[in-house]
Amino acid sequence: MKKVNKKFYIMLLVEAIVIAVFVRVYQFGLIPGGMNQDGAMAAVDAKALADYGTDRFGMRWPVHLTAWGFGQMSALLSYLMIVPIKLFGLSVFSARLPMLLVSLTSLGVLYCFARNFAGKNTALVVLLLAVINPWHIMQSRWALDCNLFPHFVLAGVFALQCGVEREKGWLYGSMVFFSLSMYCYGISIYTVPLFLLAASILLLRRRKVTIWQVLGCVGIYLLIAWPFLACMIINALQLPTIETPLFTIPYFPYSMRSNDILFFSAQPFSQLQQNAVALLKILFQVYSGPRWNEIRGFGTLYVFSTPFMLIGIMLAFRRYRKNIGAALTVLWFLTGVAAGLITANVNINRINIIFYPMILFTAIGIWGTMRFLGEKKGWKIVRLALPLAYCAAFCLFVNTYFTTYAAQAADDFMQDFGEAVTAIKGAEVQKVYISADAQYKGYGHVSEILTLFYMDIDSKEYQNPEFHQQFTFQIPFDPNPEEDAVYVAATDDLSRFPPELYDIEPHGKFSVVVPRFADN
């Protein structure tokens, strides 16, 4: 166990890369079926930015997106979508492609980071564990703006490690990734500065950096991050929108996300208790949240990984004083814990900053356990059982993901609604009525954004008042069979359309309904 055969090592490394790509690319764009509303919104805004340099509302190069109007959204994912959408058009594939590429790249970064501070053998275990990790696989296959956050933080931590231990120029390069991570997710406003402050104190005390290097890093960080920081200040103080020649720093008069932070909660102590319980459930693999984040029974790291994660945490804390990589990982993990306690209604995607440290700790714990058992006689079966257990869990996970979970996810991602809306694309009618029940009953704003996505409606057309006159995101109680209209109706609404007056084309839970007179 102390020395791994070079050829065997390379073989495992190549196999890890092949498996990583295959399990993330196989049926990419088809599973999960349908499209999440946030991913669709990011893509619609990306299409508008690609065509006109504005979001779908006409705001020029915003540093933060308006989203629903009553809630904001990070902008970086939309900007990363611009090139794929330009190349391949607006589609599920092009919208999800940036997350896939960033996730695959991050596996390489994670391996290099682990190799720098824990050695090549532990790094291989880290890579193998990340390749088969349920959280990493699932988040790489759909588009959610906040899921970019942990990857950019990882790149920042890796560059910071290289800057401390190798070339000092990496110190300043790390600030590029940390500052860009601010445009990935709103909680970066208190997590990234917290991590950087703790890392600065640590590195200064150990004399790994000088105060001038720290100040230089602060300057680079602020140079890139200041528009986002200004946006948060503007909205906190309700100041007017700032338009510059290059971008817009918007004020959102109907949107305030401060309630997502513990300190602004109406019941902070009760909220802290709820956050702590949810955080512990996530850490100990017993969290049961939305299906798009987790397949129940597997957890984010496989349910039997907790003991190894705890062992890895102890080993990392033991190396904390002597090993910069271990120290940064510990600070990173503690920042994630703080995020879990501070962020209201914490769930897997809201605390995604913590999962790379969890993978690192678990891999360190696995390798430490294997080495310990390697020194004991008669433990060969146990040493073989551990990797076989992970292989079996991975095989079960993949089988579930591409079969039963795929059917469930298609429902969660509103695939039937998307197929019905796609079926009416290009219909030349005076009026289009679309059900408000795409996700939940009465959520017309979700139906609207999915319609913009699936029908590839130009943002200029959307901004035109005629669009809102033609499209109504509600099914009338008493539809007029003589109106030049087409309907996308939920199954519950079909009783309003007598079959002798309407043609009904089913698409799962939704149907396209056309008045019979249109055939004449």
d(CA 144, CA 155): 19
For the chain, the average pLDDT equals: 92
Same domain, 235 and 354: yes
Give me the mean pLDDT over the 464-478 stretch.
94
Same domain, 346 and 207: yes
Residue 520 has pLDDT above 50, yes or no: no
User: In the chain, what percentage of residues exceed pLDDT 70?
Assistant: 95
Which one-letter amino acid corresponds to residue 495?
S
Give the phi and the psi of residue 14 in degrees, each rounded to 5.
-65, -45
Boundary (domain end) residue, out of 356, 372, 404: 404
Q: In whole angstroms, what is the distance from residue 112 CA to residue 106 CA?
A: 10
**Per-residue three-class SS string for 234-290:** HHHHCCCCEECCCCEECCCCCCCCHHHEHHHCCCHHHHHHHHHHHHHHHHCCCCCCC
d(CA 394, CA 325): 28
The per-residue pLDDT for range 76-100, each reduced to its tens digit, is 999 999 999 999 999 999 999 999 9
Q: Is residue 392, in this structure, part of any structural domain at all?
A: yes
Question: Looking at the domain assignment, is residue 1 inside a domain?
Answer: no
Residue 518 reports pLDDT greater than 60: no
- Give me 120's structure tokens: 């090549």
Question: In degrees, to the nearest 5, what angle opens at C-alpha 206 toward C-alphas 201 and 211?
Answer: 55
Q: What's the pLDDT score for residue 377?
A: 64
Whether residues 89 and 208 share a domain: the answer is yes
pLDDT value, residue 257? 59
Tokens of 425: 């694309």
Confidence (pTM): 0.94
Interval 389-412: pLDDT, tens: 999 999 999 999 999 999 999 999
Residue 519 predicted with pLDDT over 80: no
Distance CA 76, CA 146 (A): 9
- Nearest 10 degrees: Cα torsion 180, 195, 304, 374: 110
Residue 360 lies in a domain: yes
Output the six-digit token pair for 294.
Answer: 């987790």
Give the up-direction half-sphere exposure of residue 245: CA atoms within 13 A in the CB hemisphere: 0
The pLDDT of 322-341, averaged and rounded, is 93
DSSP one-letter string for 114-131: HHHHH-HHHHHHHHHHHH
- Phi and psi, residue 381, nearest 5°: -65, -40
- Nearest CA-CA partner of 208 in 328, 379, 337, 32: 328
- Cα separation, 42 vs 152, in Å, equals 18
Same domain for 390 and 430: no
Residue with tokens 């900053």: 353
Over residues 453-474, the mean pLDDT reads: 95
How far, in Å, CA of 413 to CA of 391, rounded?
A: 29
Are residues 327 and 469 located together in one domain of the fold? no
Domain finish residue from 351, 370, 404 = 404
- Residue 275 has a pLDDT of 86
Q: How confident is the model at residue 268 (pLDDT cuts 50, 70, 90)?
A: confident
**Binning pLDDT at 50, 70 and 90, where does residue 304 land?**
very high
129 shares its domain with 16? yes
Residue 487 and residue 457 share a domain: yes
Give how far the C-alpha of residue 328 lies from the chain's centroid of Cα atoms, to the nearest Å.
23
Q: Is the pLDDT of residue 64 over 60?
A: yes
| CA 155 – CA 478 distance, rounded (Å) | 56
Number of domains composing the chain: 2
Q: What is the pLDDT of residue 258?
A: 58
pLDDT digits (tens, 9 = 90+) for 24-33: 999 999 999 9
pLDDT over 70 (residue 110): yes
Asked if 203 contacts 164 with a C-beta cutoff of 8 angstroms, the reply is: yes
Assess whether 392 and 459 both reside in one domain: no
Q: Could you tell me which residue, 345 or 314, shows the higher pLDDT?
A: 314
Q: How many CB atoms lie within 10 A of CB 291?
A: 16
Residue 291 lies in a domain: yes
Q: What is the mean pLDDT of residues 468-475?
A: 95
Of the chain, the percentage scoring pLDDT greater than 90 comes to: 77
Query: Do 363 and 279 belong together in one domain?
Result: yes
Residue 89 falls inside a structural domain = yes
Q: Identify the CA nearest to 452 among candidates 439, 434, 440, 469.
A: 434
Band the pLDDT of 317: cuts 50, 70, 90.
confident
Residue type (1 letter), 113: F
pLDDT tens for residues 485-502?
999 999 999 999 999 999
Q: How many CB atoms lie within 10 A of CB 483?
A: 16
Alpha-carbon distance of 387 to 373, in angstroms, equals: 13
**Co-location of 446 and 502 in the same domain:** yes
In a domain, 409, yes or no: no
Whether residue 33 contacts residue 415, with contact meaning beta carbons closer than 8 Å, is answered with yes
Q: In what order do the strands lie in the sheet with 485-490?
A: 471-472, 431-434, 485-490, 510-515, 502-507
Largest Cα–Cα distance in the chain?
85
Domain membership of residue 410 (yes or no) is no
Give the domain extent around 497: 415-519
Q: What backbone phi and psi angles, to 5 degrees, belong to 506?
A: -75, 145
| Crossing angle of helices 37-52 and 76-88, rounded to 10° | 70
The CA–CA distances, whole Å, from 25 to 21, 22, 101, 103, 298 equal 6, 5, 10, 11, 21
Joined tokens for residue 430: 């005076």
Side chain identity, residue 353: I
Using one digit for the tens of pLDDT, what is the confidence trace for 111-157?
999 999 888 999 999 999 999 999 999 999 999 999 999 999 999 99
Residue 443 resides in a domain: yes
Question: Kind of pairing, strands 242-243 and 502-507?
Answer: unpaired
Helix (H, G, I), strand (E, B) or coil at 18: helix
3-state secondary structure 189-220: HHHHHHHHHHHHHHHHHCCCCCHHHHHHHHHH
- Return the pLDDT at 368: 87
Tell me which range, 158-162, 273-277, 321-325, is most confidently predicted by mean pLDDT: 158-162
> What residue ranges in 345-448 does DSSP mark as E strands?
431-434
Give how far Cα 249 sits from Cα of 62, 211, 261, 282, Å: 6, 31, 22, 35
Span 416-433, pLDDT tens digits: 999 999 999 988 899 999
Shared-domain flag, residues 272 and 365: yes
pLDDT digits (tens, 9 = 90+) for 373-388: 766 666 677 778 888 9
- Are 79 and 158 part of one and the same domain? yes
| Mean pLDDT (whole number) for 341-369 | 91
| Digit-coded pLDDT (tens) for 352-365 | 999 999 999 999 99
- Residue 85: C-alpha distances to residues 119, 250, 429, 463 (Å): 40, 25, 28, 20
* Per-residue 3-state assignment (H helix, E strand, C coil) for 141-167: CCCCHHHHHHHHHHHHHHHHHHHHHCC
Choose the final residue of a domain: 378, 404, 430. Answer: 404
